[in-house]
Structure 1
Amino acid sequence: MELAAKAHLQKRAFIKSILDLGLHGPLAALCVSHDDEGYLRMRKASHLIGILGLNEMVEAVTGCQLHESKHAEQLGQAVIQYMDLKCQQLSERLGLKIVLEQTPAESTALRFAKLDLRTYPDVARKYIKGSFDTGEIYYTNSTHLNYKLVQDPIDKVTREGVLHPMIKAGAITHVWMGEHKPDPKALASFVIKTFRHSENAQVAFSPEFTICNECNHIERGLSDSCSRCGSADVDGITRVTGYFTRTSSWNAGKRGELRDRARGPVKAPA
């Protein structure tokens, strides 16, 4: 975390040197001002430190993943609490706003797994998720629970939400719906219960679709062929981290995560 803060200081100094060029510099648009400050107010900037693989970390220490024991869950909470406190201390010492973030890690989840597999092959294979046969390996993103875990969605948002107040730059829980088309009243009830009975900061309902590159037909769920014209030239569309995109553009780690996701309908919570 000290190294990340040092990197932020260097980046901040570099950006300031460019901003100091004013309207003649490459960031001229950010210098336009109708008051005493430009569009980019550096004094209000947040400096983020991302989290990746909390699930595997507690598994390596306790022998259990976050969802498998109370001890593992408590250790995960203690780690994030310490990191949040460290961010506060760094902020006070350096005069910057430094906060934790659930990093998107579109490529980092794969990259870190490959690096550990290369450096510590015997140990890393015990904790890395995905398929070693296909190379679709990854670490569980940020503070998420294991993607294969089949559980009540309201339980998932409640358990993951315990950590969200300490992740001040933004946190999210994904509810993978697959091909299921949710009932609007069930969704409304789910959101209300999440708001009233959990600390979860943000919930994303993520369906899946197949689009045909021949006839442009779109249908729910991920399929190997088009139900309208029969073409095998199809692509999947679903959420990767915080946005929807075609699955053909995903790297091996995210494809492994996609295969592992436990999907299910959203029902009105009791």
Structure 2
Amino acid sequence: MDGTPPGRGHERLAWGRRAPRDRTAHGVRRLRDLLRAGMVRAGATGRKLPSERELMLSHGASRTAVREALGLLRDEGLVARLQGRGTVTLDLPALMSLREYHGVERPTPSSLLGGAIRSHVLEETTIPAPAGLAELLGREPGDPVLCVDYVGTVGDDPVVVATDYVRMPEAAAVAGTPFRTDWYVRLADAGLVVDDTEILFEAGVADAFDAELLAVRPGEPIMIMEQLLRDPAGETFNVAVIRSAGRRMTLHSRQRRTGP
């Protein structure tokens, strides 16, 4: 007896027995991750990957490991083997900077928010604010808020399903503004300035509603977000709940250390 709780000791022993047996699988997993990261950063659909032999030489991997890694990427729907062309990229996730996603940076033309997305309203109505929502918006429970339910698509591919709640008086300006592309554009067209945003990111799985709206399978991984949009005075005027097909979006963030 060494004083270690029985459960924890057994967990460590089980993990220790399991790890060495998976050494080959670890190499395949790492190769898959490196190939996937390079593809997403390049961001070009239809781009040809290096040949199996080139991948073997550049990564010091066996042919079996290369084929298994490519097989995992095919299972994910990111690559396909085409006759006479080799392995090419397919439907890569949309890449955008995290600051663009926050709405505080002008999107690049190639970004998801650079004009590629189109929003389709499911329902737009005024509702009495529940207590929790009213508190976030600095209003009283029962005060009217604009509720906008919509799906954002790129081409025919649904990317996000979102519900935005906007307080009065900003809601009146939004209600009278057409929905041209994405939500930030609609707010800007309504004359509203997003000065500060806060987003809570969670990993989740698609339920039956998500599966139908996002064209994914129930149980498939998705991103779940709650977002607060604030005006230049620091007041929250918009609360959003967003669900995104995780495999269709990649967020890029770069920060520099500002202190010692």
**Could you say whether these structures have the same fold, taking a TM-score greater than 0.5 normalized by the shorter chain as the test?**
no
Who wins on radius of gyration, i.e. which is larger? 2
| Larger RCO, structures 1/2 (Cα 8 Å, 6+ apart) | 1
Structure with the higher helix share, 1 or 2: 1
